[in-house]
A and B are shown apart, each in its own frame.
Chain A
Amino acid sequence: MSKSSPWAWFWIGLGVLYFFVPLFATLEFSLKAQKGFYSLTAYQVALTDPGFVRTFTFSLTMAAATVLVGFLLIVPTAYWVQLRLPRLRPIVELLTLLPFVVPGIVLAFGLIKLYGHPPFSFTESELSTNGLLISGYVVLALPYMYRAVDTGLRAIDVRTLTEAAQSLGASWPTILFRIIFPNLRVALLSGTFLTFAIVIGEFTLATFLNRPAFGPYMNLVGDKTYIPEALAIITFALTWASMGLIQFFSRGTPGQGPLAGTR
């Protein structure tokens, strides 16, 4: 067993301080709403504010819809690329990285410019504007969702499992929904939680499409003291809980051990 270098511990310590000192400072400040002692007043105010509940619920709904639409679009695409069009993989990967290159504001203006006027006019009703917002969120979540799904697909022998199912009489929808989707459970969960984390805090698209989302709400309460810090800690806690859930579901899931059908 190799001896740990003191420098390794130094850099780890520095990293921990870099990440945790601001977080601890924010937490500590958020607990100081009452003078002279620590309290959860800021959290109480934040969580009981009707605006918080409304915007958070709205963003959660949007996130759920984004996950659903995203996976219905991405899983069959990634599956087909892996199975039949492996040569297209670099092109598809490049396309999925575009949201990193195109700023959110450009995406927002692009969507409004193209779909906010006839013949589409999607911004004329709340429902269709929500649809536009979900489409934008799918694009923003694309790099994370695609990578999660692609990694999951690479972990199973997609081709052989598909052929085994075909030889047993299964049609394409059966293969997709009874073999592929269930075997991507961990990958889908990872993609889901990452998408939730992105959508919950998203600001630009929701603001420009004028939707009551959690991101703009956090910005609105930004001029108050203690409450934004409490909201920041709540958001952190939600993100970490999501990551914890990914870890939890990754362990001991039936069929997700050493996979049969893999070499």
Chain B
Amino acid sequence: MAFLEINDVQKQFAQTTAVDTFNLQVERGEFVSFLGPSGCGKTTTLRMIAGFELPTSGRIVINGNDVTHKPPNQRNVGMVFQSYALFPNMTVADNIGFGLKVAKKPAAEIKQRVEEMLKLIHLSALGNRYPYQLSGGQQQRIALARALAIKPQVLLLDEPLSALDAKIRVSLRNEIRAIQRQLGITTIYVTHDQEEALSLSDRIVVMSEGRIEQIGTPFEIYNFPLTPFVASFVGTLNVLSATVTNAGSGLLQIEGQPIRAARPIESARDGETVSIALRPEIISMNGASAGEANRLQGKVEDVSFLGSIVRIRVRFENDFIHLDTFNNPHLSLPQIGQPITVTFPREAVLVLSRAASAA
């Protein structure tokens, strides 16, 4: 039995289904991210685990106890909010000790735990400050310490880094992961930032329109997306329409040009149109990829300089793809309008299981 179980959970607001048949098993100590665009139901699911929303149907079980109908203050679930939610009238130390005070722990124990938590987040010197005297990053670390002080069964983080600037976001992200590993606490992390989800998580739940699109490790989600939505939402991806010419041999055509997938195509028959996905970083220019690589011919339509990489848009008749190449000041870039042959390995051709309408 998993430590946290979410079984057939559904949430409806009037006529709208915010979360539809959500099933997830989270093991003790696992770090799971809910990833998706705004309105996909990720925060609603998190709020149901916290007890702030009641599921319309389904069960939520933590450590063998059904908590579906338990009020939030009886779940022992720590929560970190996007807006920090520190109590403005209390000092940092009082904020961290609040949950323990509520639980009527002895003063000495509270003091010791607060010191422990301040040390954990490297802010031991700030115990007497008020929240408004701290930076956003410091406030969020205090919020994390406050949530951890009560030794929760599950730690929930609702887009905790969204309000911070880019540099602090990266450093705090690493700190959250380090603390989570150190304490071994089961964690659910809600984000719309794919980089955050990919870098932090043991597993990612990609959501769209209230449904789970895919559950997998960051490696699986990025490299083997199962649906056009996952393919387009996680990372930059080229999604192209292709006609199956020989499903058994993995043969397809993109605008009349033949390509081959590494495996037989099981989701479609000969003559049907499927969506195929190609990562920009796996595509090369002018035959750079040797051996049995697929080749497509087109024209350079745009060249974008993005710092460490250069993104080139190649136009076929109706479709186009992006390819990424590392920025090298010693190499000349292709010119707009120039004919180009792009190559990619057969293994890079991902035939998506659903039609390309969402892509």
Give the contact stretch, choosing among B74-82, B264-272, B332-340. Answer: B74-82
Check A255 against B85 for contact (C-beta < 8 Å).
no
Check A261 against B71 for contact (C-beta < 8 Å).
no
Contacts A260-B139, A261-B86 given; indicate if A167 touches B132 (C-beta within 8 A): no
- Which residues of chain B have C-beta atoms less than 8 A from A164's C-beta? 79, 81, 85-87, 143, 146
Check A165 against B132 for contact (C-beta < 8 Å).
no
Q: How far is the CA of A157 from the CA of B139 in the complex (A)?
A: 15
Q: How far is the CA of A262 from the CA of B76 in the complex (A)?
A: 25
- Encode A175-215 as 1/0 by CB contact (under 8 A) with B: 00001001101000000000000000000000000000000
Q: How far is the CA of A161 from the CA of B52 in the complex (A)?
A: 13
A156 at the interface (CB under 8 A from B): yes
B92–chain A nearest beta-carbon distance, Å: 10
- Encode A232-263 as 1/0 by CB contact (under 8 A) with B: 00000000000000000000001111111111
Main secondary structure of the interface of A (DSSP, over half): loop
Q: How far is the CA of A163 from the CA of B103 in the complex (A)?
A: 16
Docked complex: B112-139 residues within 8 A CB-CB of A:
130-134, 139
Check A255 against B90 for contact (C-beta < 8 Å).
yes
A171 at the interface (CB under 8 A from B): yes
- Which residues of chain B have C-beta atoms less than 8 A from A174's C-beta? 102
Q: How far is the CA of A161 from the CA of B77 in the complex (A)?
A: 15
Check A255 against B130 for contact (C-beta < 8 Å).
yes
A34 at the interface (CB under 8 A from B): no
Check B73 against A171 for contact (C-beta < 8 Å).
yes
- Which residues of chain B have C-beta atoms less than 8 A from A258's C-beta? 132
- Which residues of chain B have C-beta atoms less than 8 A from A168's C-beta? 73, 78, 98-99, 102, 146-147, 150
Check B88 against A256 for contact (C-beta < 8 Å).
yes
Chain A CB within 10 A, most for which of B51, B98, B139: B98
Check B73 against A166 for contact (C-beta < 8 Å).
yes
- Which residues of chain B have C-beta atoms less than 8 A from A166's C-beta? 51-52, 71-73
Check A167 against B79 for contact (C-beta < 8 Å).
yes
Check A170 against B73 for contact (C-beta < 8 Å).
yes
- Encode B139-172 as 1/0 by CB contact (under 8 A) with A: 1000100110010000010000001000000000
B83 at the interface (CB under 8 A from A): yes
Number of A-B pairs, beta carbon distance below 8 Å: 103
Contacts A163-B52, A169-B73, A170-B73 given; indicate if A254 touches B81 (C-beta within 8 A): no
Check B83 against A262 for contact (C-beta < 8 Å).
yes
- Which residues of chain A have C-beta atoms less than 8 A from B72's C-beta? 163, 166-167
A151 at the interface (CB under 8 A from B): no
Q: How far is the CA of A11 from the CA of B98 in the complex (A)?
A: 53
B328 at the interface (CB under 8 A from A): no
Check B89 against A183 for contact (C-beta < 8 Å).
yes
B50 at the interface (CB under 8 A from A): yes
- Which residues of chain B have C-beta atoms less than 8 A from A261's C-beta? 81, 83-88, 131
B134–chain A nearest beta-carbon distance, Å: 8
- Which residues of chain A have C-beta atoms less than 8 A from B73's C-beta? 166-171
- Which residues of chain A have C-beta atoms less than 8 A from B83's C-beta? 157, 160, 261-263
Check B150 against A255 for contact (C-beta < 8 Å).
no
B206–chain A nearest beta-carbon distance, Å: 26
- Which residues of chain B have C-beta atoms less than 8 A from A262's C-beta? 83
B78–chain A nearest beta-carbon distance, Å: 6
Which residue of the partner chain A has the closest CB to B136? A260
Contacts A166-B72, A168-B102, A174-B102 given; indicate if A183 touches B88 (C-beta within 8 A): yes
Check B86 against A169 for contact (C-beta < 8 Å).
no
Contacts A163-B72, A167-B73, A255-B130 given; indicate if A156 touches B88 (C-beta within 8 A): yes
B129–chain A nearest beta-carbon distance, Å: 10
A187–chain B nearest beta-carbon distance, Å: 13
Pick the residue among B52, B87, B103, B147 that contacts A183 (CB under 8 A).
Answer: B87
- Which residues of chain A have C-beta atoms less than 8 A from B79's C-beta? 163-164, 167
- Which residues of chain B have C-beta atoms less than 8 A from A255's C-beta? 87-90, 130-132
Pick the residue among A156, A165, A263 that contacts B98 (CB under 8 A).
Answer: A165
Check B98 against A157 for contact (C-beta < 8 Å).
no
A257–chain B nearest beta-carbon distance, Å: 4
Check B52 against A169 for contact (C-beta < 8 Å).
no
For this complex, 19 residue pairs linking A to B, each with C-beta atoms less than 8 Å apart, are A157-B83, A157-B85, A163-B85, A164-B143, A165-B87, A167-B50, A167-B78, A168-B147, A182-B89, A255-B88, A255-B130, A257-B133, A258-B132, A260-B131, A260-B132, A261-B84, A261-B85, A261-B86, A261-B88
| Interfacial residues, chain B to chain A (CB-CB below 8 A) | 50-52, 71-79, 81, 83-90, 98-99, 102-103, 130-134, 139, 143, 146-147, 150, 156, 163
| Interfacial residues, chain A to chain B (CB-CB below 8 A) | 156-157, 160-161, 163-171, 174, 179, 182-183, 185, 254-263
Given A164-B81, A257-B132, A261-B83, 18 more A-B residue pairs with CB atoms under 8 Å apart are A157-B85, A160-B85, A163-B72, A167-B72, A168-B73, A168-B150, A169-B73, A170-B73, A171-B73, A185-B89, A257-B130, A258-B132, A259-B88, A259-B132, A260-B134, A261-B81, A262-B83, A263-B163
